């Protein structure tokens, strides 16, 4: 049957033509190196087939209906004006990049259509105010890297579950909705306060933090995964947990520069996995690993005697520099995975 179709000259030529068109459109739709301005986009012969569009070098108003309705992923990197209808209502992922930074251009409510599910403001206009309805209720993944005006209650819709934010202002309680389960905070630690982080968060990343002590009682018991920035190198005393006894923390990941003491009782008994960063090289007696931990990963620099490993340990990963004798009865009996 397929051979008969391929022998048909008309059908064969149509298939080859469509494949050629697909390759052409795919190249323009899948690679950020292929960019348009408004003129080149409007003059592109196959614009109505485009799915992923990167716009640059425009200081014009994008009027309603100008952009192709086929677009599902749109990246804007220029100081263009926007009005309701400028962004097609099929767009699911929308990115405003660094070049979109004109202080005179504001995204007002209802500019972004309700079709958008993933929304990124990357190094974006620092004067932008995120009023209610600027971010539509369809968004579930939100990235804002430069916030110079305080977010108000309702700025982030309750549809958002994944959130990455960078603050240059104090972070008010209850601004992050209780729908958020994955949270990455890229800001100065001084802006964190009690109740900044909602009790719904299970996956928490402190990203690009300076080497500053985390304020007390700011990490809720709901957090199961906790990751520190590469710069963080403060003693761990457990004060940043709201209630260490009821903590559900299962995984903790330290950044590359962490090489400090973990004080006794500082990590919750619920902990199952610890990953240390590149520079960690302290004696295990100073580490105070909880008894229930099942997985420990040491990285490149670590080269200390293996003393005091918890009996619950089932997986142990040692770094490149490890060169210590492993004496009899050093490794726990439950260990079934060992990597050098």
Cα–Cα distance for residue pair 186/232, rounded to 1 Å = 13
Among the ranges given (7-21, 72-86, 103-117, 194-208), the one the predictor scored with the smallest mean pLDDT? 7-21
For the chain, which residues make up each domain, given as ranges? 1-30, 37-180
User: Cα 65–71–73 angle (5° rounding)?
Assistant: 130
Res 157 pLDDT > 90: yes
SS3 18: helix
Residue-wise pLDDT tens digits, 283-311 = 988 788 999 999 999 999 999 999 889 99
Specify whether the CB–CB gap between 300 and 280 falls below 8 A.
no
Q: Higher-confidence residue: 61 or 163?
A: 163
Most confident of 54-68, 121-135, 247-261, 279-293: 247-261
Q: How far apart are CA 270 and CA 272, in angstroms?
A: 6
Q: Strand (E) positions, the chain? A: 52-56, 61-62, 73-77, 81-82, 93-96, 118-121, 141-147, 162-167, 182-185, 203-206, 225-227, 251-253, 273-275, 295-297, 315-317, 337-339
Residue 134 predicted with pLDDT over 70 = yes
pLDDT of the residue at 299: 95
Percent of residues, the chain, with pLDDT higher than 70:
89
Q: pLDDT tier at 31 (50, 70, 90 boundaries)?
A: low
- Split at pLDDT 50, 70, 90, the class of 32 is low
Specify the pLDDT at position 226: 96
Tell me the percentage of the chain whose pLDDT exceeds 90. Answer: 46
Question: Residue 163, CB half-sphere, CA atoms under 13 Å: how many?
Answer: 25
Highest-confidence segment of 66-80, 157-171, 261-275? 261-275
Mean pLDDT of 88-100: 85
pLDDT of residue 170: 66
The overall average pLDDT reported for the chain is 86
Mean predicted confidence (pLDDT) in 164-169: 76
Task: Tell how many helices (H) and how many strands (E) occur in the chain.
Answer: 3, 16
Q: Is the pLDDT confidence value at 125 over 70?
A: no
> pLDDT per residue over 137-149, tens digit each?
999 999 987 766 7
Task: Find the mean pLDDT for residues 147-163.
Answer: 87
Averaged pLDDT for residues 42-56: 87
pLDDT, tens only, 217-275? 889 999 999 999 898 999 999 888 888 888 999 999 999 999 999 998 999 999 999 99
How many CB atoms lie under 10 A from the CB of residue 114?
11
- The arithmetic mean of pLDDT across residues 182-202, rounded, is 85
């Amino acid at each position: 049957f397929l051979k008969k179709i391929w022998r048909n000259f008309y059908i064969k030529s149509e298939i080859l033509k469509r494949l050629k068109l697909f390759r052409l459109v795919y190249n323009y739709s899948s690679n950020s190196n292929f960019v348009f301005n408004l003129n080149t986009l409007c003059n592109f012969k196959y614009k109505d087939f485009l799915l992923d569009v990167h716009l640059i070098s425009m200081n014009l108003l994008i009027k309603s209906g100008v952009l192709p309705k086929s677009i599902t992923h749109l990246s804007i990197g220029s100081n263009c004006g926007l009005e309701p209808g400028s962004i097609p209502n099929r767009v699911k992922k929308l990115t405003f990049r660094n070049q979109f930074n004109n202080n005179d251009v504001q995204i007002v409510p209802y500019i972004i259509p309700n079709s958008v599910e993933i929304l990124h403001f990357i190094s974006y206009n620092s004067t932008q105010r995120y009023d209610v309805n600027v971010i539509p209720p369809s968004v579930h993944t939100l990235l804002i890297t430069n916030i110079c005006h305080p977010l108000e209650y309702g700025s982030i819709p309750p549809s958002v579950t994944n959130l990455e934010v960078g603050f240059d202002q104090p972070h008010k309680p209850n601004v992050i909705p209780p729908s958020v389960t994955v949270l990455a905070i890229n800001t100065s630690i001084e802006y964190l306060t009690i109740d900044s982080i909602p009790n719904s968060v299970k996956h928490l990343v402190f990203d690009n933090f300076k080497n500053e002590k985390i304020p007390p009682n700011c990490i809720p018991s709901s957090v199961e995964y906790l990751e520190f920035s590469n710069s963080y190198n403060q003693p761990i005393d457990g004060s940043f947990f709201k209630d260490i006894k009821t903590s559900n923390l299962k995984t903790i990941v330290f950044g590359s520069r962490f090489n400090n003491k973990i004080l006794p009782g500082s990590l919750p008994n619920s902990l199952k996995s610890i990953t240390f960063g590149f520079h960690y090289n302290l004696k295990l007696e100073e580490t105070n690993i909880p008894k229930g931990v099942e997985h420990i990963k040491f990285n490149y620099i670590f080269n200390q005697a293996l003393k005091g490993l918890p009996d619950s340990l089932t997986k142990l990963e040692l770094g490149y520099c490890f060169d210590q004798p492993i004496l009899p009865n050093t490794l726990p009996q439950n260990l079934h995975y060992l990597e050098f």
